[in-house]
Amino acid sequence: MNTFESNERQVDHLSCAADQYRITTLINYIQTHHQEKVTLADIAKSASISRGECCRFFQRMIHMTPFSYLNEYRIFQSVSVLVENNLSITEISEVVGFSSISFYTSTFKKQIKCSPREYRKRYLRISRIPHEVFLTKY
């Protein structure tokens, strides 16, 4: 291997490390601020890049837009809130950062394949089944 090939591999490695650091920075920002109103400018600023670069970079690294990731993360967070307390669906949508109950519900249905209310009912029904039912031998 000549020096040029060795240097090229080092640049690739550094580029990968820089990309990992950048995507981690962007994701950490979203996860830390998901309950707030988040703009593309806010997300991009966290990694000191432009809004356009932020969108292109997100797409290249995780194959979705920053807002798709933000909404998926908010839904992920809402699932645990749904099953761990008695907040209304409207309150839950606000707690996890959605500004509209209808957008929360439609996003939840797309991702989870049922409404938040249906999800909660299913979970409560399953959690009431005695554990012995799952432990029976066949």
Q: Is the pLDDT of residue 10 over 50?
A: no
pLDDT at 130: 53
Q: Is the pLDDT of residue 138 over 60?
A: no
pLDDT, average across residues 87-114: 97
**Which tokens is 31 given?**
């996860």
pLDDT, average across residues 78-91: 94
Q: Which residues, 6+ apart, have CB-to-CB distance to 124 below 8 Å?
A: 83
pLDDT at 115: 97
Cβ pair 60, 84 in contact under 8 A: no
Separation between Cα atoms, residue 138 and residue 122, nearest integer Å: 25
User: Tens digits of per-residue pLDDT, 25-38?
Assistant: 999 999 999 999 99
The pTM of the full predicted model, rounded to 2 decimals, is 0.80
Supply the mean pLDDT for the chain. 86
pLDDT, average across residues 76-103: 95
Q: Which residues, 6+ apart, have CB-to-CB distance to 101 below 8 Å?
A: 89, 90, 93
pLDDT at 16: 87
Q: Is the pLDDT of residue 50 over 80?
A: yes
